[in-house]
Amino acid sequence: MYSGLNLGECYMCQKNKKRFSAIYTSILITVFIMLATLSIIGALREKWNARSFAAPVESLTNFTYEIEGGENGNATFPYSFKNIDPHTAVTIHSEVEPGLYDSLLVKTVYTGLRLYADDILIYECGQAGSYPTYLLDPPTLLEIVPLPENATNLRFEYISPSQRSTMSLPVVMAGSDGELLADLFIKNSVILMLSLLFLLFGAVMVGYSLLFWNKGKVFINLGLFALAVGCWSFAECNATAFIVPYPVLLYYIAFGGFFTLIIPLLRYMLLILNPRNSMPMRLISIVVQVTVVVVFALQLMGKMALSKSLYLFHILVPLGVIVFAITTIWEHFRYHNKMSKQFVLPSLVLVIATLTELANYSFRFTHILSLFFLLGTFIFTLMLGIIGMKRVLEKQKETEKMLAEGKFYRRMSHNLLTPLSIVSTNVQIAKMLPEQAEELLTNSQAEIMKMADMIRSALDDSEVDNK
């Protein structure tokens, strides 16, 4: 009986090892595909940048500006005006070579814009009535604008946002329609790919949790975390404006994803880590949830834009990560929590990715902003998935072992009760019929030997299993 239990446990061990092997293999294949894709994209970008067409894609560089109130000067795209009053008119003048470019790729960040070519209005966006009034400022807009033939002078008339003291002027690209669109997707392909990977991973995790709730409910929070990061990066990607041409929707998706991503991450950690002191993580999670509800309510009431609330979440989101890291370290050194040790490497990956991204903002290792953070976060998420899967399999193994042991003890009880009943009956008959006592005692001794053999066999199997 007991040897059958050992064989079952060995089978489960082999089954779990195969599962982990499949998981690690999948991770390695995913990382390999990502690196290969990044290499291919890098090669394509080099070839694209080195191409020689009649109308190449170029960025407009120098311009002159005039700010309402008298300030003026020269600058270069991209540029930011600091400490500017709300709804201030800013006029930009730039020159282009006549007939060289067919179109412009123009992006606005929460500003209104009227674009003139040789004093002819060719494009306007972000004007009153073109977006819901409760947004307070227009959402980020991206558009390819045809240039009139032989245009030479461009005049950009901006209206600064009401919810920010900084007005950003992104780079303006010039070229043909097809080249501008292709250049945009080539430059944003890495971020777009990582966003789709996050969304796919999150959908798989949430789907698994819903289909196998008893075994996979721990993964629903990991899936929601991946979906939140994916939504944020997808909506922030410039190329997305031509995939999902709904600026207001992308506005809410971007801010909603960033504002809420720390909540499912903390819930996942609470389920997996099961800390002795869960109050810090629960508290920061509640604070973020309440803040999200408040800022969205203020936006819908037209009191404060989500773009202005962003500064608050630049504090809350890192604070949530810090609380998670401190709790993990505390659990490891104070309570010797076995699970906390497994989060050291994922946390290190996330910290390195964050620091590298901060360095990228300062020194511009690559023009793809958020690349290092998103790549590090994706690896971090995969590691959390492995830890979660390991925890689920361990619980499953413990449950199966308990069920198997319970079945074993029930069988042992049944097998022992039968000879014990025979011995008890023989003793009672021996008292009533002394002349048959010797025969009954011999039968009882045989039954006792059977029980001893069963117990000895079970103990031997137990020692082998422990070794």
pLDDT, one tens digit per residue, over 292-321 is 999 999 999 999 999 999 889 888 988 888
State whether 250 and 394 are in the same domain: yes
Which of 373, 399, 425 terminates a domain? The answer is 399
Assess if residue 96 is contained within a domain. yes
pLDDT band (50, 70, 90) for residue 2: very low
State whether 224 and 358 are in the same domain: yes
What pLDDT score does 311 carry? 86
Average pLDDT over every residue of 248-257: 95
Range of the structural domain that residue 367 is part of: 2-48+186-399
Average pLDDT, the chain: 80
CATH number for position 12: 1.20.1070
State whether 323 and 390 are in the same domain: yes
State whether 16 and 106 are in the same domain: no
Which of 123, 145, 175 terminates a domain? The answer is 175
Which strands sit side by side in the sheet containing 173-175, from one edge to the other?
A: 58-59, 173-175, 103-108, 141-146
pLDDT band (50, 70, 90) for residue 136: very high
The structure's pTM equals 0.74
Q: How far apart are CA 232 and CA 260, in angstroms?
A: 10
184, 368 Cβ separation under 8 angstroms = no
State whether 141 and 240 are in the same domain: no
Most distant CA atoms of the chain, gap in Å: 130
State whether 249 and 350 are in the same domain: yes
User: Which of 52-56, 296-300, 340-344 bottoms out in mean pLDDT, i.e. has the lowest?
Assistant: 52-56
Assess if residue 417 is contained within a domain. no
Structure tokens given for 272: 């997996």
Average pLDDT over every residue of 259-283: 89
Assess if residue 238 is contained within a domain. yes
Average pLDDT over every residue of 172-178: 91
Read off the pLDDT of residues 216-233 as tens digits, 9 standing for 90 and up.
677 888 899 999 999 999
Using DSSP's 3-state secondary structure scheme, residue 288 falls into: helix
Q: How far apart are CA 179 and CA 338, in angstroms?
A: 55
What pLDDT score does 304 carry? 94
State whether 23 and 62 are in the same domain: no
Q: How far apart are CA 147 and CA 117, in angstroms?
A: 7
State whether 273 and 342 are in the same domain: yes
Instruction: Give kind and range of the element (H or E) at residue 372.
Output: helix 371-432
Domain count, the chain: 2
Which residue stretches of 63-169 are H helix?
A: none
Assess if residue 43 is contained within a domain. yes
Extended beta strands in 163-227, E state = 167-169, 173-175
Q: How far apart are CA 101 and CA 173, in angstroms?
A: 10
Q: Is 85 or 338 the better-scoring residue by pLDDT?
A: 85
State whether 318 and 197 are in the same domain: yes
Assess if residue 352 is contained within a domain. yes
Quick one: CA dihedral 199, 200, 204, 205, positive or negative? Answer: negative
User: Which of 103-107, 225-229, 348-352, 432-436 bottoms out in mean pLDDT, i.e. has the lowest?
Assistant: 432-436
What pLDDT score does 373 carry? 76
Assess if residue 98 is contained within a domain. yes
175, 101 Cβ separation under 8 angstroms = yes
374, 191 Cβ separation under 8 angstroms = yes
Assess if residue 428 is contained within a domain. no
State whether 360 and 225 are in the same domain: yes
Reference 112, options 96, 90, 133; nearest CA is: 90
What pLDDT score does 157 carry? 95
Residue 186: CB atoms within 10 A of its CB come to: 17
pLDDT greater than 50 at residue 462: yes
Which of 343, 371, 399 terminates a domain? The answer is 399
State whether 230 and 373 are in the same domain: yes
What pLDDT score does 9 carry? 45
State whether 62 and 143 are in the same domain: yes
What pLDDT score does 143 carry? 94
Quick one: CA dihedral 40, 42, 48, 51, positive or negative? Answer: negative
Average pLDDT over every residue of 340-350: 78
What pLDDT score does 3 carry? 43
CATH number for position 69: 2.60.120.260
Assess if residue 301 is contained within a domain. yes
CA distance between the termini of the chain: 19
Cα-based distances in Å from 108 to 73, 79, 363: 21, 12, 24
Read off the pLDDT of residues 354-397 as tens digits, 9 standing for 90 and up.
777 667 666 666 656 677 777 788 888 878 777 777 776 676 67
